[in-house]
Amino acid sequence: MLRAAAAASGFLPARLAAETAPTVRVVAAGAEVRSPLLRALGVPRGGGIGSPVPGRRPCFVSDSESSGSAGDSDSDASSAAGDESEGNKSSSGIVPSIVRPEDCHTVIALPLAQQPLFPGFYMPISVKDPKLLQALVESLKRSFPYAGAFLVKNDEDTDSNNVTCSDSKKNIHDLKGKELLKRLHNVGTLAKITSIQGDQVLLLGHCRLRITEMVDEDPLTVKVDHLKHMGDFNYPRLADFGAAISVANKLLCQEVLEELDVSKRLMLALELVKRELEITKLQQSIAKAIEEKITGDQRRYLLNEQLKAIKKELGLETDDKTALSEKFRKRIEPRKEKCPSHVLQVIEEELTKLQLLEASSSEFSVTSNYLDWLTVLPWGDYSDENFDVHHAQCILDEDHYGLADVKERILEFIAVGKLRGSSQGKIICLSGPPGVGKTSIGRSIARALNRKFYRFSVGGLSDIAEIKGHRRTYVGAMPGKMVQCLKSVVTANPLVLIDEIDKLGRGYSGDPASALLELLDPEQNATFLDHYLDVSIDLSKVLFVCTANVIEMIPGPLLDRMEIISIAGYITDEKMHIARDYLEKNTREACGIMPEQAEVTDSALLALIENYCREAGVRNLQKQIEKIYRKIALQLVRQGVSNEPSREITLFEASEQPASVDIATEVENRSPRDALAEDVSVHITPTDFSCEKINIVSLTTKSGVNQNENLKGTSKETSADKKSTSTNMSGKIETNEGTEKLTEARVVKAVEKIVVDTSNLDDFVGKAVFQPERIYDQTPVGVVMGLAWNAMGGSTLYIETAKVEDSEGKGALVVTGQLGDVMKESAQIAHTVCTSIFREKEPNMPFFFAKSKLHLHVPAGATPKDGPSAGCTMVTSMLSLAMGKMVKKDLAMTGEVTLTGRILPIGGVKEKTIAARRSGIKTIIFPSANRRDFDELAPNVKEGLEVHFVDKYSEIYDLAFPSDSETRSS
């Protein structure tokens, strides 16, 4: 396109311009030089056409001048030939051969693959066909430098608006004769061959042609008609110029070439030029934006570099690397004596490495981040511990009610630390149901020991890198949790609470439980190695406290390194104290409710505990209390009560004379807004006063003197006589020039106190969730109460046995109640034990179990149940049915039974004891092996209970069933 524009403007390079000059070839006399094209044109041997006339450079030649132009060119050739003949008169065989463009009616057809050639424009093409190229060379030699340039059609798509690039450019050279003719557009351009260099041919368009018929097939030679059109010189050439310089698809340009009407051709060319203009504007805007951005960035960078250089020369600032190095050295300098030598060596090596790296390199950022972590850790910095057991006792009692055994164990731990001088060496694990305060106990221990507290949960943790850190080679690498902990607490001996350790996950990246072994083992954590830091860290001074709900879920190697402190839960009395002294008070303050506005009675709290919150912890109890106070807050707001804090009201006085503001507390039979409108002499927004009682706390003037220190609001019962005095003495406010601030006091509207008790508890928390666990005052025949443990604490359950039918042959036992495999086995064992015991106790009915089909059921069938501790309860239930005797009133039991009648120990003694107290049980039977567990319980848990410890079932039989004399007396 640039070459065409340059040619049109007359600025074609000198070499190409020289090549366009008319050329005269000389040949020897009598030689046969006629080509097939010359034979078709009828040019005689050695003959010429025209006479020599002065010539000129052909460029933008109009149709009216085309013949003259050709004549000029031919004249140049003739003149040159004449001059040469005059210079060498002995060469009588030199004959000029000249052809004019308008006389060219038979031409060689040149296929154009990309764009059509327009008259007056240059176009270089590549001719791959050797025979065609040789014909063009011969034509140029014979002074017939003309050919027809025709655009190749598209086989796939002839639509000018959707032209594909898959033209037959690669196959067009293989086509000959009629096949090639079919692929060419009929309208083309007569082109003058200005030069041939290798296979590159430079063409100059003269005028439009139309193919009429084929003359020769190889090379394709066609007869053409010259297409003339009317119009001024400028307009048709302008249209051709616009189409030639565009980069539109070739079919659109071909339409311009084929159009002979000047006005239509100009419209087509205008569309192409507009398209080019829009593309050029877009390219310019993009280029400008890019240039501005690059220029702005370069300018900013240059100015920053100059600023840095200036500051460096003045000593005001150093470069980035020096500043970073100085920052890291200042960090480590105060702890240099306490820092281990191997860590100091690594820091010095990394600082030296930092100075050798380029600030723009990725290794520089990795090294600087590594040094940042190394220098920020508290190497050798320890907080002073407090081993005062009396101080610790006060803190534990302040934060927690009950849990006497847990507090005692913690105080023992602190006492040992006082004697040793340090509290490390033991890993405490607090186990118990949710909501019993395990995490808060860990926080209280940290406060008692004056240690920093840090908590992180490992529940569901599956990536070992969370504990051991990532390798520094990874993108976004970070140290593990312990390194992050030390950076956060800024001390090397914090208390770290590892929460939910029984819920560790395991993923493809490793086993976190194995990573915790090095962290929690007192023999290994003195040289704990984090993958990111790659230097050993001393964690032996860190006190680790873990929490878990079920210790059976903790991996064995981890559990072996811990000291278990069990937190079973709270009994009803403890929950009452916690609810009254902690939960209810804190919740009321959090909701912004005054004690005189609402009250929750003890009976309501007791009902809430027993019917809604039977779990071992108090988290759900706190939620229910919050629910109650939220509904109380809603009722108070609906009644118009607002307990918002005081606000400041600014009064503006326009006049110079002091104005008085009289505020009356209440006017009978008038609204407060009307009364204030009469008594306030300055403008106050009415919405600022919408209550029945207003207290003015302070009024400060410009001089800063408090003019209302002794003002007190009047009560609702103030009489009309006292009202005027109150208005003049305590309500009148003298204002000064300018602005004064009036603090609006808390506004309290007199409302009836809201009381929550058992009668309206359902309105606040809904219907009761739990029904009384004890459904029998006296259990019937075949029914016995057992004690069970679950993750939420302890509970009671009934074992029921009924006789279905007498069966011939062997007796049968059916069990229901969604029992697990262990509990089903316990039922079969109990059935066998009952058979032997019944034969001994009732010799008159030795075959009851052998001939009876029994059905044993454990109520609450929707709840899964499993465990061996119900064995003795099942035996007692079957014997009660067989003998027709009821067990003693208020009796519950638990224990695993063997086939020989031995009673094995069970777990969850405290939870089961609490469940028995909650159900009103007075007598409990435990295995003898659990006597120590029961003795360790707090006195308030054991109070009022009769507990029997047994080794074999025969002892349970005597305790469970009353004697005949007792039965008759009852």
Question: What distances in angstroms separate CA 375 from CA 486, 850, 869, one per listed residue?
Answer: 12, 81, 57
Q: Distance (Å, rounded) from C-alpha 602 to C-alpha 71?
A: 126
Q: Distance (Å, rounded) from C-alpha 651 to C-alpha 647?
A: 13
pLDDT value of position 809: 65
For residues 201 and 111, membership in a common domain is answered with yes
pLDDT over 80 (residue 7) = no
Average pLDDT over residues 796-803: 92
Could you list the residues known to form a binding site for ATP, using ranges. Answer: 432-439
pLDDT tens-digit profile of 306-354? 887 887 777 766 667 788 888 899 988 888 888 989 999 999 999 989 8
pLDDT tens-digit profile of 590-609? 999 998 999 999 999 999 98
Q: What are phi and psi of 565, to 5 degrees?
A: -120, 110
Residue 680's nearest CA partner among 667, 751, 669 is 667
What is the Cα Rg of the chain in Å? 54
Residue 442's nearest CA partner among 481, 466, 406, 484 is 406
For residues 490 and 352, membership in a common domain is answered with no
pLDDT value of position 31: 36
pLDDT over 80 (residue 24) = no
**Residue 669 Rama label (left phi>0; alpha psi -120 to 50; beta):** left
Residue 803's nearest CA partner among 877, 900, 858 is 877
Residue 322's nearest CA partner among 307, 333, 335, 312 is 312
- Asked whether the beta carbons of 952 and 901 are under 8 A apart, the reply is yes
Burial of 386 (0-12, 13-18, 19+ CB in 10 A): middle
- Asked whether the beta carbons of 808 and 869 are under 8 A apart, the reply is no
Which of the residue ranges 231-245, 350-364, 748-762 would you say has the lowest mean pLDDT?
A: 231-245
The letter for the amino acid at 259 is E
pLDDT value of position 874: 95
- With tokens 């009660």, the residue in question is 880
Q: Distance (Å, rounded) from C-alpha 441 to C-alpha 396?
A: 8
Q: Distance (Å, rounded) from C-alpha 456 to C-alpha 432?
A: 18
Average pLDDT over residues 260-279: 84
- With tokens 């309206």, the residue in question is 760
pLDDT over 90 (residue 28) = no
Could you tell me the pLDDT band of residue 485, with boundaries at 50, 70 and 90? very high
Q: Distance (Å, rounded) from C-alpha 292 to C-alpha 287?
A: 8
- Asked whether the beta carbons of 822 and 874 are under 8 A apart, the reply is no
20-42 core/surface letters (b: 16 or more CB in 10 A; e: else): bebbbbebeeeeebebbbbeebe
Which of the residue ranges 345-354, 670-679, 823-832 would you say has the lowest mean pLDDT?
A: 670-679
**Domain annotation covers residue 133:** yes
pLDDT over 70 (residue 29) = no
**Domain annotation covers residue 549:** yes
pLDDT value of position 679: 41
Helices 953-960, 871-883: inter-axial angle, 10-degree rounding: 50
pLDDT value of position 682: 36
**Domain annotation covers residue 246:** yes
Read out DSSP for 518-587?
Answer: HHH-TTTGGGEE-TTT-SEE--TTPEEEEEES-GGGS-HHHHHT-EEEE-----HHHHHHHIIIIIHHHH
Average pLDDT over residues 280-300: 84
Structure tokens belonging to residue 437: 């305060």
Burial of 382 (0-12, 13-18, 19+ CB in 10 A): middle
pLDDT value of position 425: 63
Q: Which residue has the higher pLDDT, 482 or 98?
A: 482
Q: What are phi and psi of 25, to 5 degrees?
A: -105, 140
* Number of domains into which the chain is organized: 5
**Domain annotation covers residue 793:** yes
Read out DSSP for 196-213?
Answer: EETTEEEEEEEEEEEEEE
pLDDT value of position 720: 36
Average pLDDT over residues 473-502: 91
User: Which residues are CB-contacts of 727 (< 8 A; sequence separation ≥ 6)?
Assistant: 662, 663, 664, 679
Could you tell me the pLDDT band of residue 692, with boundaries at 50, 70 and 90? very low
pLDDT value of position 952: 92
- Asked whether the beta carbons of 910 and 886 are under 8 A apart, the reply is no
For residues 800 and 865, membership in a common domain is answered with yes
pLDDT value of position 1: 40
pLDDT over 90 (residue 610) = no
DSSP 3-state assignment of 344?
A: helix
DSSP 3-state assignment of 293?
A: helix
- To the nearest whole percent, how much of the chain has pLDDT over 90? 27
- Asked whether the beta carbons of 79 and 140 are under 8 A apart, the reply is no
- Asked whether the beta carbons of 756 and 764 are under 8 A apart, the reply is yes
pLDDT value of position 515: 86
For residues 500 and 548, membership in a common domain is answered with yes
Q: What are phi and psi of 596, to 5 degrees?
A: -80, -5
**Domain annotation covers residue 21:** no
Question: What distances in angstroms separate CA 217 from CA 128, 132, 142, one per listed residue?
Answer: 17, 11, 21
Average pLDDT over residues 358-383: 89
pLDDT value of position 893: 94
Could you tell me the pLDDT band of residue 647, with boundaries at 50, 70 and 90? low
For residues 824 and 914, membership in a common domain is answered with yes
pLDDT value of position 798: 92
Could you tell me the pLDDT band of residue 142, with boundaries at 50, 70 and 90? confident
DSSP 3-state assignment of 59?
A: coil
Average pLDDT over residues 614-625: 89
For residues 410 and 506, membership in a common domain is answered with yes
Domain end, chosen from 240, 275, 310, is at: 275
Structure tokens belonging to residue 570: 């709270």
Average pLDDT over residues 379-390: 89
Question: What distances in angstroms separate CA 443 from CA 400, 453, 488, 513, 826, one per listed residue?
Answer: 11, 6, 16, 24, 43
Q: Distance (Å, rounded) from C-alpha 913 to C-alpha 919?
A: 10
**Domain annotation covers residue 85:** no
Mean pLDDT of the residues in the chain: 76
Average pLDDT over residues 223-227: 89
pLDDT value of position 243: 78
The whole-angstrom distance between residue 178's C-alpha and the CA centroid of its chain comes to 68
- Asked whether the beta carbons of 848 and 834 are under 8 A apart, the reply is no
Q: Distance (Å, rounded) from C-alpha 605 to C-alpha 387?
A: 38
Domain end, chosen from 544, 566, 588, is at: 566
Element housing 742 (H / E): strand 738-744
Average pLDDT over residues 157-175: 50
DSSP 3-state assignment of 146?
A: strand
Q: What are phi and psi of 651, to 5 degrees?
A: -105, 130
Counting Cα atoms < 13 Å in the Cβ hemisphere of 814 gives 9
Structure tokens belonging to residue 575: 């929950």
SS3 breakdown of the chain: % helix, strand, coil, rounded to 5? 40, 20, 40
For residues 248 and 140, membership in a common domain is answered with yes
Largest CA distance in the chain: 170
68-100 core/surface letters (b: 16 or more CB in 10 A; e: else): ebbbbbbbbbbbbbeeeeeeeeeeeebbbbbbb
The whole-angstrom distance between residue 428's C-alpha and the CA centroid of its chain comes to 35
Which of the residue ranges 162-171, 282-291, 564-573, 818-827 would you say has the lowest mean pLDDT?
A: 162-171
Peptide bond into 236 cis (omega under 30): no
pLDDT value of position 680: 37
Domain end, chosen from 376, 411, 438, is at: 376
pLDDT over 70 (residue 659) = no
Q: Distance (Å, rounded) from C-alpha 782 to C-alpha 670?
A: 76
pLDDT tens-digit profile of 97-109? 556 788 888 999 9
**Domain annotation covers residue 685:** no
Question: What distances in angstroms separate CA 873 from CA 184, 197, 689, 855, 953, one per listed residue?
Answer: 106, 114, 71, 15, 10
pLDDT over 70 (residue 301) = yes
Average pLDDT over residues 21-48: 38
**Domain annotation covers residue 902:** yes
Residue 516's nearest CA partner among 492, 541, 544 is 544
For residues 579 and 455, membership in a common domain is answered with no
pLDDT value of position 171: 67
Q: What are phi and psi of 126, to 5 degrees?
A: -110, 125
Average pLDDT over residues 360-369: 88
- Asked whether the beta carbons of 745 and 696 are under 8 A apart, the reply is yes
Task: Report the CATH number that the domain containing residue 796 is assigned in CATH.
Answer: 3.30.230.10
Q: What are phi and psi of 405, to 5 degrees?
A: -70, -35
Structure tokens belonging to residue 915: 């469940």
pLDDT tens-digit profile of 829-867? 999 999 888 888 777 776 788 888 899 999 888 888 888
For residues 859 and 824, membership in a common domain is answered with yes
Average pLDDT over residues 866-879: 92
Task: Report the CATH number that the domain containing residue 266 is assigned in CATH.
Answer: 2.30.130.40
Q: Distance (Å, rounded) from C-alpha 816 to C-alpha 502?
A: 32
Q: Is 89 a catalytic residue?
A: no
Which of the residue ranges 167-181, 770-784, 796-810, 906-920 would you say has the lowest mean pLDDT?
A: 167-181
DSSP bridge partners of 507: 510
pLDDT tens-digit profile of 411-438? 988 898 888 877 766 788 999 888 888 9
Q: Distance (Å, rounded) from C-alpha 354 to C-alpha 346?
A: 12
Please pick, among 143, 423, 869, 877, the residue that the annotation labels catalytic.
869
Structure tokens belonging to residue 37: 């094209």
- With tokens 């900013």, the residue in question is 300
Residue 26's nearest CA partner among 98, 95, 100 is 95
pLDDT value of position 318: 60
For residues 841 and 944, membership in a common domain is answered with yes
Structure tokens belonging to residue 529: 């190695």
For residues 450 and 554, membership in a common domain is answered with yes
Residue 3's nearest CA partner among 271, 262, 15 is 15
Q: Is 912 a catalytic residue?
A: yes
Range of the domain at 622: 572-639
Task: Report the CATH number that the domain containing residue 604 is assigned in CATH.
Answer: 1.10.8.60
For residues 794 and 824, membership in a common domain is answered with yes
pLDDT value of position 143: 79
DSSP bridge partners of 949: 926
